[in-house]
A = this chain, B = another copy of it.
């Protein structure tokens, strides 16, 4: 199995990316194809003693920057580490692609270079997130700020396939993100989505997921339009980040509070592990003809390694093939 890795995506590229790829190569026995400026990759690896021997390198001198128009990945910056990686994937020069670069560019590039599965209206960003009761998937997390209700049905199906195949959850419970549990709640868009989801026999739809309950773990797949999904994702990150920052400051205040931290060290670590989103890898872009994984922009070597493991699992568990088959069944549309 061959995983293509964008060596210049994310805040810690290329060093942490190379480290992660090197680790994944040893740990998971995958072949690695690195994309990006060949000279810089080799220099960075040599200077930091990162073993990239045996990794193929596709030379692509440019880098998609955060401030670039996402569409540049198709034209002016097709020869970037991301553009080259997506092109290589579309040409079958690897089995999956991992990038910690710009999400918007990855969505545009994935859609037009790797292309969508036949029948899929929109690809979606699917994040596996921690809850009090274990992981759940939120889909769409921001690929499509505007959606039609029928897109949400496809998101529900694709998310169900992923959670079943990759996380081993049988008959994943699907919930619709909404501002109340009752069927009549929300906007006309949400109510119409509810009606369509309810009619879809191939998913296990359990109704509205009241937003307040999401962090407590209410179902396995939560579907939303990309705007709402992104608000949920970012409020999760923002509130957790703010609270954790305050808790840390509280423990660091003085000698007595530091003693307090020691007293609850076990519990703190357990909780940290439970909430560690990095263990689930990155966010798969679902709906494309090959696995594309968006690793977090702040990915370190371990996060990138996990994203590569996730890419490998997507291939092994035949996520793309299963979604494709699903599109051919009766309620595929």
Contacts and interface: CB of A to CB of B under 8 A. Distances in A.
Contacts of A245: 132
B227 A186 contact: yes
A211 B239 contact: no
- A interface: dominant SS: helix
Contact of A271 (B230, B234, B250): B250
Contact of A230 (B179, B216, B238, B249): B179
Interface stretch (A19-27, A89-97, A259-267, A293-301): A259-267
A330 interface: no
Give how many copies assemble into the complex.
Answer: 2
A246 B263 contact: no
Interface in A90-146: 131-132, 142, 145-146
A63 to B, nearest CB: 20
Interface string A180-201: 0000011110100000000000
A214 B227 contact: no
A234 B211 contact: yes
A271 B242 contact: no
Interface of A: 131-132, 142, 145-146, 177, 179, 185-188, 190, 210-216, 227-228, 230-232, 234-247, 249-251, 253, 256-257, 259-264, 266-268, 270-271, 274
